[in-house]
């Protein structure tokens, strides 16, 4: 019986089908699969000023591992997962993509990792905001001396037009006498009208919310403004003090004495820095910057600078920049200085009469009294080096006998310069980021134009 069993088993084994496989080097390779890694921290800011169009740089952080990624594909979509319109693609290791100006807007920009096996099933998206759909900037016109004709003008990016007397149109009355500074903070605008001893609070359509008259034994003359942590800080020129306004209640909460005839302010390092010009005590000008602790609202210290300090700004490292106008025609130039955030040491950077600081770049205009030439330099606040000896590249010239103000659009980096001749309406010059004039100078419709504030709804 055993012999028969073995014979049957052997026959059954012979009858079984066999599958033979060959060996090759391909057996050791990993199978090609779609990527699992995804980018993160997508960021995009629209710089195209046309409505329903976008342009600008899309950036992201790379995955920790790119081993199974060949490239990244960029799409537009109406949802965060719908890859509706392909915009472009970039090789792995790339952290950005330039969205062409004039691209039709959709709701989202989407980045997807891709390999030979296909695209990742985990797209990453960032919502798009057409920030220029309701954007423009206000120009504050101080008005002629004691003429009670301060005003607001508004430039509309979408229409490419400038409207004059906006405050009067919205409120049926004039703004007052001697407007000094305009600040947009949150959903409100704040204007100091020094000659009328008023701080005027408006919505972003220039409709008045409240007008505040500072209390004192004489007119306090609200002068300049800065904002931080839900508070607006106001220098009182004749009050020789700084006041704190709560932006919710619109009530003055505190006031602290500083140096003589304070001008501009800035906030940094939990402090408020204010320039004490001493301007009405000629020739005995002030020469200090008061440092106020934001928490206690008391003066911590006074820092000595070149006499007659008037302008001030701060960079992302906390350093403070001050322009002093000296003695208006003497031997000391208008001087740009830096106050070190850690040591309070003051260093002279160069000559400057006006400045604006955007993204750690300082743009300055300078002309000493009776000097016909105006120089326009740009500095890197982080490296403390000159970036440009002349940021106006098309030979546009300005009149040194007129007052000026310069500002830079924080989104598009478009450069704006106001020129205010005595007794005539002011001119607005709009330059590309490369320093060439866009069209002709525009009449602001106001006298002594001296401040610009950008609307970003």
Residue 1 lies in a domain: no
Domain edge (last residue) among 92, 127, 162: 127
pLDDT category at 89 given cuts 50, 70, 90 is: very high
Q: What pLDDT sits at residue 6?
A: 39
CATH code for position 116: 2.60.40.10
pLDDT category at 11 given cuts 50, 70, 90 is: very low
pLDDT, one tens digit per residue, over 423-445 is: 899 999 999 999 999 999 999 99
Based on the domain organization, do 336 and 194 belong to the same domain? Answer: yes
Domain edge (last residue) among 107, 127, 147: 127
pLDDT, one tens digit per residue, over 44-76 is: 988 887 777 899 999 999 999 898 899 999 999
Q: What pLDDT sits at residue 14?
A: 40
Q: Residue 276 belongs to what domain range? A: 133-455
Based on the domain organization, do 46 and 194 belong to the same domain? Answer: no
Q: What pLDDT sits at residue 23?
A: 42
Whether the predicted model's global pTM rises above the 0.85 cut? no
Phi first, then psi, for residue 26 (nearest 5°) are -65, -20
CB 435 within 8 A of CB 415: yes
Q: 435 versus 2: which is more confidently predicted?
A: 435
Q: Is the peptide bond before 128 cis (omega within 30 degrees of 0)?
A: no
Phi first, then psi, for residue 248 (nearest 5°) are -85, -50
Residue 49 lies in a domain: yes
Q: 300 versus 14: which is more confidently predicted?
A: 300
Q: What pLDDT sits at residue 30?
A: 56
Count other C-beta atoms under 10 Å from residue 173's C-beta. Answer: 9
Q: What pLDDT sits at residue 7?
A: 35
Based on the domain organization, do 202 and 290 belong to the same domain? Answer: yes
CB 256 within 8 A of CB 242: yes
Side-chain half-sphere of 253: how many Cα atoms within 13 Å? Answer: 15
Based on the domain organization, do 147 and 56 belong to the same domain? Answer: no
Q: What pLDDT sits at residue 50?
A: 76
Based on the domain organization, do 89 and 228 belong to the same domain? Answer: no
* SS (HEC) of the chain: CHHHHHHHHHHHHHHCCCCCCCCCHHHHCCCCCCCCCCCEEEEECCCCCCCCEEEEEEEEECCCCCCCCCEEEEEEECCCCCCCEEEEEEECCCCEEEEEEEEECCCEEEEEEEECCEECCCCEEEECCCHHHHCEEEEEECCCCCCCCCEEEEEECCCCEEECCHHHHHHCCCCCCCEEEEEEECCEEEEEEHHHCEEEEEECCCCEEEEECCCCCCCCCEEEEEEECCEEEEEECCCCEEEEEECCCCCEEEEEECCCCEEEEEEECCEEEEEECCHHHCCCCCCEEEEEECCCCEEEEEEECCCCEEEEEECCCCCEEEEECCCCCCCCCCEEEEECCCCCCEEEEEECCEEEEECCEEEEEECCCCCCCCEEEEEECCCCEEEECCCCCCCCCCCCCCEEEEEECCCCCCEEEEEECCCCEEEEEEECCCCCECCCCEEEEEECEEEEEEECC
Based on the domain organization, do 218 and 348 belong to the same domain? Answer: yes
Average pLDDT, the chain: 89
CB 210 within 8 A of CB 202: no
pLDDT, one tens digit per residue, over 131-159 is: 666 589 999 999 998 899 999 999 998 78
Q: 184 versus 371: which is more confidently predicted?
A: 184
Based on the domain organization, do 418 and 307 belong to the same domain? Answer: yes
CB 447 within 8 A of CB 144: yes
Domain edge (last residue) among 86, 103, 127: 127
Q: Is a pLDDT exceeding 50 seen at residue 275?
A: yes
Lowest mean pLDDT among 229-243, 275-289, 330-344: 330-344
CB 195 within 8 A of CB 214: no
User: For the chain, how many structural domains are there in total?
Assistant: 2
pLDDT category at 188 given cuts 50, 70, 90 is: very high
Q: What pLDDT sits at residue 1?
A: 42
Based on the domain organization, do 73 and 187 belong to the same domain? Answer: no
Residue 35 lies in a domain: no
Based on the domain organization, do 65 and 210 belong to the same domain? Answer: no
Q: 101 versus 13: which is more confidently predicted?
A: 101
């Amino acid at each position: 019986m055993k012999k028969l069993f073995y014979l049957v088993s052997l026959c059954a084994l012979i009858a079984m089908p066999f599958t033979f496989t060959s060996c090759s080097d391909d057996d050791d390779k990993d199978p090609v699969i779609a990527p699992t890694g995804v980018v993160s921290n997508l960021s995009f800011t629209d710089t195209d000023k046309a409505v329903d169009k976008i342009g600008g740089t899309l950036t992201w952080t790379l995955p920790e591992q790119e081993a199974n990624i060949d490239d990244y594909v960029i799409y537009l979509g109406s949802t965060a997962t719908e890859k509706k319109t392909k915009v472009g693609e970039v090789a792995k290791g790339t952290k950005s993509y330039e969205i062409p100006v004039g691209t039709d807007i959709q709701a989202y920009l989407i980045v997807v990792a891709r390999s030979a096996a296909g695209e990742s099933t985990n797209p990453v998206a960032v919502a798009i905001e057409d920030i220029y759909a309701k954007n423009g900037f206000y120009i504050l016109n101080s008005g002629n001396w004691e003429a009670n004709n301060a005003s607001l003008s508004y430039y509309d990016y979408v229409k490419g037009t400038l409207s004059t007397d906006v405050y009067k149109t919205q409120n049926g009355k004039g703004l007052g006498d001697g407007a000094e500074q305009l600040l947009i903070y949150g959903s409100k605008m704040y204007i100091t009208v020094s000659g009328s001893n008023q701080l005027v609070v408006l919505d972003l359509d220039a409709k008045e919310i409240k007008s505040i008259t500072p209390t004192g034994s004489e007119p306090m003359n609200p002068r300049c403004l800065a904002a931080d942590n839900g508070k607006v800080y106001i220098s009182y020129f004749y009050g020789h003090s700084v006041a704190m306004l709560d932006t919710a209640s619109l009530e003055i909460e505190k006031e602290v004495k500083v140096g003589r005839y304070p001008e501009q302010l800035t906030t940094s390092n939990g402090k408020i820095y204010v320039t004490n010009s001493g301007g009405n005590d000629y020739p005995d000008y002030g020469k200090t910057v008061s440092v106020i602790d934001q928490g206690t609202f008391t003066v911590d210290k006074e820092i000595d600078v070149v006499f007659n300090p008037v302008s001030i700004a701060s960079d992302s490292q906390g350093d403070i920049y001050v322009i002093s106008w000296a003695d208006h025609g003497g031997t000391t130039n208008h001087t740009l200085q830096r106050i070190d955030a850690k040591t309070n040491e003051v260093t002279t950077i160069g000559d400057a009469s006006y400045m604006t600081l955007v993204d750690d770049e300082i743009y300055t205009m300078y002309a000493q009294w009776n000097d016909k030439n105006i120089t326009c330099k740009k500095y890197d606040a982080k490296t403390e080096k000159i970036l440009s000896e002349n940021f106006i590249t098309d030979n546009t010239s300005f009149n040194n006998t007129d007052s000026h103000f310069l500002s830079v659009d924080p989104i598009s980096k478009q450069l704006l310069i106001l020129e205010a001749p005595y007794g005539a309406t002011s001119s607005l010059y709009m330059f590309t980021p490369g320093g060439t004039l866009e069209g002709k100078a525009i009449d602001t419709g106001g006298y002594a134009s001296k401040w610009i504030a950008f609307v970003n709804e």
